[in-house]
Amino acid sequence: MSDVIGYDRVGEIAVLTVRNPPVNALSQAVRQGLWDRMDQAEADADVRAIMIVGEGRAFFAGADIKEFGKPLKEPFLPDLIHRIEASPLVVVAAMHGVSLGGGLEVALGCHYRIAVPQARVGLPEVHLGLIPGAGGTQRLPRLTGVEPALEVMTTGRHVGAAEALSLGILDAVEEGDPREIGLAFVQRLLAEGAPRRPVSEMALPQPIDWDYAFDATLARGRGQISPAWCVRAVQAAYGGSFAQGMQAERKMFMDLMETDQRQGMIHAFFSERAVSNLPELKGVAPRDIQHLAVIGGGTMGAGIATAALLAGLRVHLLEMSAEAGAAARGRIEANLAGALKRGKITAEAHGAMLEQALRVLTDYTDLSEVDLVIEAVFEDMDVKKQVFAQLDAVCKPGCVLASNTSYLDIDVIAATTSRPADVLGLHFFSPAHVMKLLEVVVGEQTAPDVAATGFALGKRLGKISVRAGVCDGFIGNRILATYRTCADHMVLDGASPYDIDAALEAFGFAMGPFAVADLAGLDIGWAVRKRKRAEGQAPTRDATYADRLCEDGHFGQKTGKGYYDYAAGARAPVPNPEVMPMIEADRARLGITPRRFDADEIVRRYMAAMVNEAAKVVGEGIARRPLDVDMTLLFGYGFPRYRGGPLKWADMVGLEGLLDDIRGYAVEDAVFWAAAPLLEQLVADGRCFDDLNKES
Ligand code: CAA
């Protein structure tokens, strides 16, 4: 018999110990092993109870996600759980670490559940585009009631042991070694003569208004369907026997398994983990970073400083004057107050961060001892050059010098120092203590251990770090500039910014591009356009309405007006009435007769522009793999996770059709719609972007 499930006897108790590192996923070998060990325990005349316990980090992290999308092999998880529950012996789960998805479902198939206080349970299948598929939708409501069960399933959140106990998911929570507390618990049950207690035989709780719950959950999903299907699966428990409910759940689970949403979300799950795993940095030790400096305490600098403080680093923040320093401190205090309010930090930690870990300074010479500096000053090459020259003069040898620039050339910045190998880009997204994305921009001369330090810092700050090469806008902003230009062209040709935002929000973006621009600040794009025009890089169809908005002092949310009017008290922003006349003036100036765009055409063009530029970014090596682009768009640009990322989406809709669209649009504008050579190559070879991920 396999060693994946250990077997030993403690008196009348058979202990089944799961050993499938790193997280005890329920692979075929684990399912088969559990089945065989259940047989073995039941065949032993001296055994009166069975205890299942996990070794290592978790009880079970759930079904083995690597098996999804392939033909599932017997024994199937629902059958195994049924077999556990139907055992004539008392079966107990002794839980620690996480018990997620199928892992919690195994526990729900046991007759009793005990856990250590640090244990967490959950049914996160919705994050994989699925519903619980091994009885979770049928058993959990019987323990907790319908509404708490639906809340747990539709959010997919991890529930701490104390809460799980109060919800009725657990029977006991005790401090100690999981095996020891489990054994003591089973011994007590045996001494009391406690009976088997199958959850499937428990009464169903009060039903709810299913249609109302379905509609509300569907609306909250912004196009993602699996949370709403949890409602239908729970509802199915009320339509007949337990077995019929199980069948209905299984059917929905298998149907969802066939969807693009499932594919997209599982792509996101694995890519999120693969993105910071760079073959070239294997074995390269990062430099030790304990003490960090941030230059500039505006929104971005203060956000970076906050993220570093929250991660336990010491931070020096440098500003140009005492007044600017006080304002920066105020921003950091406000950020940390938010973290305190949301329970992310204790009052004690909050106090320590502000009083001990943070120092606000005005003199560069105070930076001589820091391990890493992040410059977050005004986005202007001359200003950056001055800052780096001063850093070069005062920082200790080996200090990593990073720029938070979002567009400018890291190689040019590095060349102004005597130590270009120590320079890299660390491009954060605003608000930097909240947004998950970090672009680690590796310059021509950046040393491998400096790049590794960027990734190590990203990990410490809880970021998703993506490697980017040097180009205007790196991965994210370069692609953004292209799809934004596509949106601007559609506006000139007849769509309104509001049509475009609505179409893309319906596609699943958290916000449309014009609402995003208002949030980010219209002055940023204005500065970039002015720079490009000065450099002779004006676009072929240069619209001026966005500049006119800025000239009138409308920078978006921060000034109360941009594409939308954010008048105090208004819940949803309303279109700013000044915008359409500015657009109409541009159309008249350029001699354009506006035409209608429906939502479908808006999405097709916008996505074609995004995918085409993304393919150029990969083809040129700015992003190493398609998944790097996907994660950039997912974590920094509000791309819907259930679509996997633009290049996974492109694979799913078909590259050939997309290339046809691009070639069709190129008839109108051959420069803007020049097809990416990589896209053409993939279509010619009958391959897709994901093939390149697998090769890397
Ligand atoms: N299947 C296969 N591999 C898994 C896995 C799973 N369920 N869960 C985690 N892993 C792998 C990860 O890919 C990672 O592999 P690499 O080291 O090769 O990158 C490794 O385990 C460690 O994972 P993390 O890096 O994520 O470690 P962590 O400590 O940060 O988080 C975790 C651990 C909380 C378990 C997290 O991995 C997680 O949330 N996993 C997914 C849990 C889940 O969704 N379970 C439900 C599965 S669906 C299901 O069960 C359907 C059903 O009803 C039948």
pLDDT tens column, 386-426: 999 999 999 999 999 999 998 899 999 999 999 999 999 99
Protein residue with its CA nearest to atom 45 in ligand 1:
62
With a cut of 50, list the residues of the chain below it in pLDDT.
none
Task: Establish whether residue 651 lines the binding site of ligand 1, counting it when its CB lies within 6 angstroms of any ligand atom.
Answer: no
| Cα-to-centroid distance, 66 and ligand 1 (Å) | 10
Of the candidates 542, 553, 543, which has an alpha carbon nearest to the alpha carbon of residue 578?
553
Ligand 1 site-directed mutation target among 18, 20, 23, 64, most atoms within 8 Å of CB: 23
Q: For the structural domain made of 289-429, what CATH number should be given?
A: 3.40.50.720
E strands, 228-371, where? 291-295, 314-318, 358-361
Beta pairing, strands 314-318 & 358-361 = parallel
pTM (predicted TM-score):
0.92
The CB-side HSE value for 263 (13 A sphere, CA atoms) comes to 14
Task: Establish whether residue 25 lines the binding site of ligand 1, counting it when its CB lies within 6 angstroms of any ligand atom.
Answer: yes
Q: Which pLDDT score, from 0 to 100, does residue 601 have? A: 97
Task: Establish whether residue 549 lines the binding site of ligand 1, counting it when its CB lies within 6 angstroms of any ligand atom.
Answer: no
Protein residue with its CA nearest to atom 28 in ligand 1:
23
- Whether the CB-CB separation of 373 and 399 falls below 8 Å is answered with yes
- The sign of the CA dihedral 110, 114, 119, 121 is positive
**Tokens 């009435």 label which residue?**
577
**Tokens 């994989």 label which residue?**
128
Q: Which pLDDT score, from 0 to 100, does residue 570 have? A: 63
| Cα-to-centroid distance, 64 and ligand 1 (Å) | 8
| Cα-to-centroid distance, 61 and ligand 1 (Å) | 6
Of the candidates 134, 90, 131, which has an alpha carbon nearest to the alpha carbon of residue 113?
90
Determine the residue type at 508: G
Active-site residue numbers?
105, 125
**In which residue ranges of the chain is CATH 1.10.1040.50 found?**
511-594
Protein residue with its CA nearest to atom 25 in ligand 1:
273
Of the candidates 295, 286, 475, which has an alpha carbon nearest to the alpha carbon of residue 370?
295
**In which residue ranges of the chain is CATH 3.90.226.10 found?**
5-217
| Cα-to-centroid distance, 545 and ligand 1 (Å) | 48
Q: Which two tokens stand for residue 598?
A: 């429906």
Task: Establish whether residue 488 lines the binding site of ligand 1, counting it when its CB lies within 6 angstroms of any ligand atom.
Answer: no
Residue burial 68-106, b: 16+ Cβ < 10 Å; e: rest: beeeeeeeebbebbbbbbebebbbbbbbbbbbbbbbbbb
- Whether the CB-CB separation of 404 and 525 falls below 8 Å is answered with no
117: preceding bond cis by omega (within 30 degrees): no
Protein residue with its CA nearest to atom 20 in ligand 1:
22
| Cα-to-centroid distance, 606 and ligand 1 (Å) | 33
Task: Establish whether residue 589 lines the binding site of ligand 1, counting it when its CB lies within 6 angstroms of any ligand atom.
Answer: no
Distance between CA 462 and CA 307 in Å, rounded? 9
Task: Establish whether residue 110 lines the binding site of ligand 1, counting it when its CB lies within 6 angstroms of any ligand atom.
Answer: no
Number of residues in the chain: 696
Residue 136 CA, closest ligand 1 atom number: 53
Task: Establish whether residue 129 lines the binding site of ligand 1, counting it when its CB lies within 6 angstroms of any ligand atom.
Answer: no
Q: How far is CA 347 from the centre of its chain?
A: 28
Q: Which pLDDT score, from 0 to 100, does residue 328 have? A: 96
| Cα-to-centroid distance, 11 and ligand 1 (Å) | 34
Q: How far is CA 251 from CA 12, 141, 224, 246, in A?
A: 39, 19, 18, 9
207: preceding bond cis by omega (within 30 degrees): no
Distance between CA 371 and CA 399 in Å, rounded? 5
Q: Is 46 exposed, middle or buried (0-12, 13-18, 19+ CB in 10 A)?
A: exposed
Distance between CA 153 and CA 228 in Å, rounded? 10
Strand partners, 440: 426, 467
195: preceding bond cis by omega (within 30 degrees): no
Q: Which pLDDT score, from 0 to 100, does residue 568 have? A: 67
Residue 127 CA, closest ligand 1 atom number: 44
Distance between CA 592 and CA 599 in Å, rounded? 21
Of the candidates 200, 28, 185, 198, which has an alpha carbon nearest to the alpha carbon of residue 95?
185
Q: Which pLDDT score, from 0 to 100, does residue 182 have? A: 98
User: What's domain 5-217's architecture?
Assistant: Alpha-Beta Complex (3.90)
Of the candidates 419, 462, 464, which has an alpha carbon nearest to the alpha carbon of residue 443?
419
- The sign of the CA dihedral 173, 177, 182, 185 is negative
- Whether the CB-CB separation of 565 and 599 falls below 8 Å is answered with no
Round the average pLDDT of the chain to a whole number and report it. Answer: 95
Of the candidates 573, 611, 585, which has an alpha carbon nearest to the alpha carbon of residue 491?
585
Of the candidates 30, 262, 220, which has an alpha carbon nearest to the alpha carbon of residue 126?
262
Crossing angle of helices 476-493 and 626-636, in 10° steps, is: 70
Q: Which pLDDT score, from 0 to 100, does residue 203 have? A: 96
Q: How far is CA 226 from CA 138, 392, 603, in A?
A: 16, 53, 23
Beta pairing, strands 159-160 & 120-122 = antiparallel
pLDDT in tens, 85-130: 999 999 999 999 999 999 999 999 999 999 999 999 999 999 999 9
| Cα-to-centroid distance, 218 and ligand 1 (Å) | 26
Task: Establish whether residue 124 lines the binding site of ligand 1, counting it when its CB lies within 6 angstroms of any ligand atom.
Answer: yes
Q: Which two tokens stand for residue 94?
A: 């002794």
Distance between CA 376 and CA 297 in Å, rounded? 8
**In which residue ranges of the chain is CATH 3.40.50.720 found?**
289-429
Q: How many of the other CB atoms lie within 10 Å of CB of 691? A: 13
Task: Establish whether residue 153 lines the binding site of ligand 1, counting it when its CB lies within 6 angstroms of any ligand atom.
Answer: no
Of the candidates 373, 434, 443, which has an alpha carbon nearest to the alpha carbon of residue 408?
443
Q: Which pLDDT score, from 0 to 100, does residue 9 have? A: 97
Crossing angle of helices 513-520 and 476-493, in 10° steps, is: 120
Q: For the structural domain made of 511-594, what CATH number should be given?
A: 1.10.1040.50
Task: Establish whether residue 77 lines the binding site of ligand 1, counting it when its CB lies within 6 angstroms of any ligand atom.
Answer: yes
- Whether the CB-CB separation of 38 and 84 falls below 8 Å is answered with yes
Of the candidates 562, 554, 536, 540, which has an alpha carbon nearest to the alpha carbon of residue 488?
540
Ligand 1 site-directed mutation target among 57, 59, 65, most atoms within 8 Å of CB: 65
Task: Establish whether residue 105 lines the binding site of ligand 1, counting it when its CB lies within 6 angstroms of any ligand atom.
Answer: yes
Print the SS3 string covering 337-371.
HHHHHCCCCCHHHHHHHHHHHEEEECCHHHHCCCC
Q: Which pLDDT score, from 0 to 100, does residue 307 have? A: 97
Of the candidates 411, 355, 401, which has an alpha carbon nearest to the alpha carbon of residue 376?
401
